Amino acid sequence: MTLTYEPWQLVTRLQREFDRSHAWLPTVDVTEDDSRYLVRADLPGVEQKDIEITADKGVLTLRGVRRYENRGEAKFLRNFTLPENALAGEIKARQVNGVLEVAIPKQPKAEPIRITVEAA
């Protein structure tokens, strides 16, 4: 009986398990400026109809499906905690050239009010 050592056997098995799980985690960048937060997700090959975005209880959720011609589909899910100053009711999203952009407006900063002291 001959024993053979296959160093890549474990890697190949791991790749098969990963492919079978049908999970995919898109790359996401989050930036901020004075008026909004901007979430950009790389979603190549994902159609607009296969993307769902929700904001609930302070959590922004991106979920969807990327369909492959020969390999079926891969689902994705990303959650982000919204800052306290986010205006969840005014979130807007658009998809351009495989990049999803989610704009989250900020509440305007409350400016201090100067109160005049009157003489008695």
Extents of the domains making up the chain: 22-105
pLDDT the model gives residue 88 = 95
Q: What is the percent of the chain with per-residue pLDDT over 90, rounded to a whole number? A: 66
Q: Is the pTM of this model over 0.85?
A: no
d(CA 26, CA 80): 13
The mean pLDDT of the chain is 88
Instruction: Kindly report, residue by residue over 10-41, the tens digit of the pLDDT.
Output: 666 666 665 555 578 899 999 999 999 999 99
Classify domain 22-105 by CATH number: 2.60.40.790
DSSP letter for each residue of 29-91: EEEE-SSEEEEEEE-TT--GGGEEEEEETTEEEEEEEEEETTTEEEEEEEEEEPPTTB-GGG-
